[in-house]
Chains A and B, each alone.
Chain A
């Protein structure tokens, strides 16, 4: 691989100056130590590749959790001008609107009257997980799925999954407008028909955690989080519905790439002009998949709520269960931003990156207006997760974006090889985490040693000023797909 020139701009910011076909520089947010790990990966080449796409505005950006993905790097952020720019299905990924939901409760983790194992088992039994998991709710017809695709989380609430109050705590109130089910293939509907309300496999999980550190008590309080608090984190996306939509549209945008004579360095970067029919069709289909994912997390959240009430034998008021925030970290959205002293409309691709809007943004609900958007950064299943908030600096520098997790350093295959000699359940139990999984393989793939140090990743974005740390959670129990 040719060596890319990288200049350090500040303690937390690095730049790849434009060379060859790059239209803008690349920018990486990371401290020096993380940057050393990133240099060993092929992801910087991918940052440079994204910088070659037409209509990119500012920089091809990467967060400190960046790692080698397919086409776009994972941990990448790129905004495209809506008149001159493109949209790329590979810049969103197969798991459209893969995201996380943080749920707060009134419970104090250390005062639980039952063993955490029983709680994990109850959730495990009520939420289908694992490879090709299905059957959480009845199989949906095409017309019902079309309603899910248009309404998102609201559909789930109308079906009795959760409460209408939940919507204000979901990005875009759980529904992207202008979803277009008519451009979606029968195959996607087939794959989605029995997968709503299922966790899936890979890195998807449900975690019960405990708040161990509060860095900003006023902000934590506004979100209903307190020291020792029992919280839950849910990580999943649009399941087979989204995977198939991405697959179908990479095929059609590859043809569009040729038709509009766009030069791409890797086929996975297939893209279409935003204003073209191909670009608009993908945008409509992607929004539909995003809405499926919002509905999916809403249904699962409600299944978790029911199993907690039943297992703990307490009232809804005692449980105090509500989402703190539900975020998308694989998505493309049309947003208005201040850039170069003026207001511009761009299509922001966040692939393995989280929206991180600062205080006062009209997109945020009333209760978060003063503090900024909650940003949840889950770590690996044995370490910790962080709750942060978006900032003004993120609005100025990163189109209101931040990192989405710790970021892999070992491939799943390497992680499995390393795990062979270990008793994984024992190793996790020793660090105080009880794990249940449909397949043992996914535990090996997701072990802490496969990831960067989430604390260092979060410290890096906090030091860069694009988020502000609020609280840290330790996992107590995890359900792996």
Chain B
């Protein structure tokens, strides 16, 4: 991967793939006494970032009941790849909480180590239809980690709940 401004990776992530990811075990919870530890897997960095967002959506609400009525654009920058992941998740969480909005899917449009441009789709929270699973206060920096494990990538982050 190269720095932004030199080469931008363009990649389409089709929604059927997101759906498949949702059904497979693309993330797991690891025990953390006070908070929620999340471990996410992806075939490449881009998929890892997409799966991390899907894991966040899934931990917030019953995503199966969320429809993609509106798409929001996100542009996130950070000093390194791990901080970029936290910023990406932090932006999604902030939008979701401040607008009372639930996401179902996302598409990363441009991606490099320090910058990401993406869109995410969902609909406003409707108490008649949606079930919120937990209040997530923030995506913490505690033991934030991205690792290449040969044929796959792994991310770990802790959500404050």
Contact indicator B97/A240 (Cβ below 8 Å): yes
Residues of chain B within 8 A (CB-CB) of A413 are: 29, 31, 36
Q: Which residues of A contact B13 (CB under 8 A)?
A: none
Interface: B137 (CB within 8 A): yes
Which residues of A, 19-51, contact B by the 8 Å Cβ criterion? 41-43
Shortest Cβ gap from B11 to chain A (Å): 28
Interface centre among B100, B125, B138 (most CB of A within 10 A): B138
Taking the complex as formed, is B116 at the interface, i.e. its CB lies under 8 A from any CB of chain A?
A: no
Stretch at the interface among B14-22, B49-57, B128-136: B128-136
Known contacts: A70-B140, A254-B141, A266-B143. The answer to whether A132 contacts B33 by CB under 8 A is no
- Among A42, A95, A191, A254, the residue within 8 A (CB) of B97 is A191
Q: How far is the CA of A413 from the CA of B133 in the complex (A)?
A: 12
Q: Is residue B43 within 8 Å, beta carbon to beta carbon, of the partner chain?
A: no
Q: Is B81 an interface residue (CB 8 A)?
A: no
A149–B39 CA distance with the chains assembled, in angstroms: 37
Within A85-137, which residues are at the interface with B (CB < 8 Å)? 90, 93-95, 130-132
Known: A131-B132, A441-B134. A266 touches B142 (CB 8 A): yes
Shortest distance from the beta carbon of B153 to any chain A beta carbon, whole Å: 19
Residues of B that sit less than 8 Å from A by CB: 29, 31-37, 83, 90, 94, 97-98, 100, 125, 132-135, 137-138, 140-144, 158, 160-161
A408 lies within 8 A of B137 (CB)? no
- Which of chain B's residues have a CB closer than 8 A to the CB of A455? none
Count residues on chain A whose CB falls below 8 Å from chain B CBs.
44
Instruction: Judge if A68 is at the interface, Cβ distance under 8 Å.
Output: yes
Instruction: Please measure, in the bound complex, the distance between the C-alpha atom of A42 and the C-alpha atom of B37, giving whole angstroms.
Output: 13
Which of A67, A190, A246 touches B138 (beta carbons < 8 Å)? A246
A-B pairs under 8 A by CB, number:
103
7 contacts across the A-B interface (CB closer than 8 A): A42-B33, A43-B33, A90-B142, A94-B160, A191-B98, A268-B143, A408-B34
A201 at the interface (CB under 8 A from B): yes
Extra 20 A-B pairs, beta carbons < 8 Å, given A90-B142, A412-B134: A68-B32, A69-B33, A69-B34, A70-B141, A70-B143, A71-B142, A93-B160, A190-B98, A202-B137, A243-B137, A243-B160, A250-B141, A266-B143, A408-B33, A411-B31, A411-B33, A412-B35, A412-B161, A413-B36, A414-B31
Report the minimal beta-carbon distance from A51 to chain B, rounded to whole angstroms. 17
The reply to whether B141 and A267 contact each other, CB–CB distance below 8 Å, is yes
Q: Which residue of B lies closest to A243 (CB)?
A: B137
Kindly list chain B residues whose C-beta atoms are within 8 Å of the C-beta of A318. none
Q: Does A247 contact B (CB under 8 A)?
A: yes
- On chain B, the residues within 8 Å of A90 by CB distance are 140-142
Query: What's the least CB distance linking B91 to chain A, in Å?
Result: 10
CA of A481 to CA of B33 in the docked complex: distance in angstroms? 19
Chain B residues, CB < 8 A from A441: 133-134
> Which 8 A/B pairs are nearest by Cβ-Cβ distance?
A70-B142, A201-B135, A267-B141, A268-B142, A68-B33, A131-B135, A70-B140, A243-B137
A68 to B160, CA, bound (A): 12
> A187 touching B132 by the CB < 8 A rule?
no
CA distance A13 to B36 in the complex (A): 30
